[in-house]
Amino acid sequence: MGGDRAGLLWQSVDRLGLEEPNLVDRLHAGVPAYGGGPFSYRDEAIVVGWVVRRPDGGFSLTEITSLTVVRQGKRYEVRFER
């Protein structure tokens, strides 16, 4: 991406680290936790932010501007003000 901040669409079925302060608090405030299992959230999500390469060569998503959790057809919007 080399400094170019043009909009790019990237889709992953693998796990991608999210680097966002207070992410869990924001989720708890806007999205009901899923009960009855070992995970609070294990839903499809649409996340808008910047993909960056970590020092170990992997990737993380940072500077998140919005997150949409989709559970059983219902969408929960979590906004991040910058």
Kindly give the confidence (pLDDT) of every residue in the chain, 82 residues in length, as a single tens digit, with 9 standing for 90 and above: 444 555 555 565 667 788 888 888 888 888 887 776 666 667 888 889 988 988 888 888 899 988 999 988 899 998 887 6
| pLDDT for res 2 | 46
| Full-model pTM | 0.67
Contacts of range 66-71, beta carbons closer than 8 Å, 24 or more positions apart = 67/26, 67/27, 69/27, 69/31, 69/41, 69/43, 69/44, 69/45, 70/43, 70/44, 70/45, 70/46, 71/31, 71/34, 71/43, 71/44
| pLDDT for res 77 | 93
